[in-house]
Amino acid sequence: MNKISIASVLFCICALAGPAYSSESFPEYPKTQALCAEHVSGTPFHIDWKSASSSEDTASVVGFFEQKMQAKSKAGDHGSSTFSHPKDPNLVLTIYPASEAAHFPACQKKPEASAKTILMTSQAIR
């Protein structure tokens, strides 16, 4: 996937402006494998995104965040679930099955074969 299509996809799932990206803004999910942290430059927006994988099933990962954040996720395409940060709706966490990874921005580093779930935080910055 090229940078233009990554920006297009992320533009659809995150808000348009906000403070600098902070991965510490969402609870940390245990036992993940970091995949990458990317920055996509654009005009007038830039997108920071970070991705990790987990060997836990997607429903368990979503349940963890629903419990920790005391909020329901929003269902999306291809089995994804999203959370907007309660204090910064411009910061988005998207969780989706690893089997659906072809439908989302991807890192050069691929998840391990045991990965069942991908977690991606993203933020568009003006």
- For the chain, give every domain's residue range: 3-125
Percent of the chain with pLDDT over 90: 56
pTM as predicted: 0.78
Please state the separation of Cα 53 from the chain's center in Å.
10
* Res 17: pLDDT: 32
Question: Which stretches of 1-126 are DSSP H helices?
Answer: 3-13, 58-69
pLDDT tens digits for 59-95? 999 999 999 999 999 999 999 999 998 888 889 999 9
What DSSP assignment string belongs to 3-33?
A: HHHHHHHHHHHS-S--SPP-GGGSPPPSSEE
User: What pLDDT score does 125 carry?
Assistant: 83
Contacts of 38 by beta carbon, 8 Å cutoff, 6+ apart: 6, 48, 49, 50, 105, 107
